[in-house]
Structure 1
Amino acid sequence: MINENEKQICKEEGCKKELPVGYKYEKCESCRNKIIEDRKNILKIGVSAIAAFALFVMNKK
């Protein structure tokens, strides 16, 4: 269990923000949002590549 009296610091590399007492995540809100945004961008690129490949295959026939 997390010691609620102990100060926590964000676990993200390069980030040294203090987290509030009782905060349930290891990373600050800003770092968590950056990670989510990066994953969304990777997903968009992947879907675009699959769609382009599907269009290429459909036009070949």
Structure 2
Amino acid sequence: MINENEKRICKGKGCKKELPVGYKYEKCESCRNKFLESGINIVKTCGAAVVGVVGLFFIIKK
């Protein structure tokens, strides 16, 4: 269980922000958003690659 009286620091790389009392995550909102944004960019890139390969497949099939 989290000790409410203890000061907590963000666990993100290079981030030294102090987390508010009662905050349930180990990383601050900024670090959490950066992590999610990087994952979304990876999914977009892979999706575009798959669409390109499928498109090429149908063009070659004709």
Distance 1:37 1:14 in 2: 18
Aligned position for 1:44: 44
Residues 16-31 of structure 1 aligned to structure 2 (within 5 Å) = 16-31=16-31
Could you say what the CA RMSD is over the residues aligned between the two structures, in angstroms?
Answer: 0.5
Shift of 1:26: 0.2
Structure-1-length-normalised TM-score = 0.96
Q: Structure 1 segments of 4 or more deviating over 4 A? A: none
Q: Deviations over 1:4-57 (max 9, x none)?
A: 110100001100000001100000000001111111111100000000000011
AA aligned opposite 1:5: N
Structure 2 portions without partners, runs of 5+: none
Aligned position for 1:12: 12
Structure 1 portions without partners, runs of 5+: none
Distance 1:13 1:44 in 2: 24
